[in-house]
């Protein structure tokens, strides 16, 4: 039997990278899926690739009205929801003195505010015993120069996994953080880091990771399937770090 058979799932930021690969795996495991993103063109292309069990909606998690539309669409499409993967996020790097309010607000509005209100707006649809997965990052417990804003947003996400798990526990709703290590995707092309700096960071990860390599999107998707499935029924409030051991060595 497929591990997510008949489950209804929502994945924000599902058109590329980790969100798209997770949507692919969810469908393969029997789930019905809604993906969101800010580009209708990318959403149509992703849905066409993923198949008929995938629905899509243009929605920006920074906008309350868009999240209201997502909740209404999910209610009309599924009735109730079994899995929420709050995945939409941005990451940009800059020296402290170069950070302005727009730079700060974009990341906190997407990674923290948007994630929080995604869960809040969908909560009336989330069935008892369901799984909420918050996409954090292995850097939530790390410090690297020029990453102050991005890293702080991911530390906040890790904290939300704890507090929301405590609050939703009486409904047997599990809330866990999923923290990928360095996985080369289009996400890193939008960080603002020059190519040579990104390459240097990748080399640092490879040499500092016991497995001696960076991660793959399918490895993160596998962890998301586990957290979404009943196999993790007693896993709650954890930070599942999938980084080849980088953070723990």
Strand, helix or coil for residue 243: coil
Is there a contact between 131 and 232 (Cβ–Cβ < 8 Å)? yes
Strand, helix or coil for residue 14: coil
CB-hemisphere CA count at 13 Å for 10? 35
58 phi/psi in degrees, rounded to 5: -70, 120
Q: Which candidate, 134, 145, 83, 144, places its Cα nearest to that of 111? A: 134
Of these residues, 150, 182, 201, 246, which one is catalytic? 150
Active site residue 182: no
The answer to whether the Cα torsion of 57, 39, 112, 101 is positive or negative is: negative
Q: Which residue has the tokens 């727009």?
A: 102
Which residues partner with 37 through β-bridges?
58
* Catalytic residue positions, numbered: 150
């Amino acid at each position: 039997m497929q591990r997510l058979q008949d489950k209804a799932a929502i994945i924000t930021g599902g058109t590329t990278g980790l969100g798209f690969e997770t949507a692919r795996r969810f469908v393969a495991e029997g789930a019905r899926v809604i993906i969101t993103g800010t580009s209708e063109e990318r959403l149509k292309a992703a849905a066409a690739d993923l198949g008929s069990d995938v629905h899509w909606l243009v929605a920006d998690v920074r906008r309350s009205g868009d999240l209201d539309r997502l909740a209404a669409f999910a209610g009309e499409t599924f009735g109730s929801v079994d899995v929420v993967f709050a995945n939409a996020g941005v990451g940009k790097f800059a020296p402290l003195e170069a950070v302005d309010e727009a730079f700060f607000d974009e990341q906190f509005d997407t990674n923290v505010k948007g994630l929080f209100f995604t869960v809040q707006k969908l909560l009336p649809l989330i069935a008892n015993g369901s799984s909420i997965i918050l996409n954090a990052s292995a850097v939530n417990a790390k410090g690297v120069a020029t990453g102050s804003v991005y890293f702080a947003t991911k530390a906040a996400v890790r904290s939300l996994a704890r507090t929301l798990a405590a609050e939703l526990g009486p409904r047997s709703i599990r809330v866990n953080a999923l923290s990928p290590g360095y996985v080369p995707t289009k996400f890193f092309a939008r960080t603002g880091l020059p190519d040579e700096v990104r390459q240097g960071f990748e080399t640092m990860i490879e040499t500092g990771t016991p497995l001696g390599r960076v991660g793959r999107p399918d490895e993160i998707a596998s962890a998301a399937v586990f957290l979404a499935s009943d196999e993790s029924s007693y896993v709650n409030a954890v930070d599942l770090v999938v980084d080849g051991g980088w953070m723990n060595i």
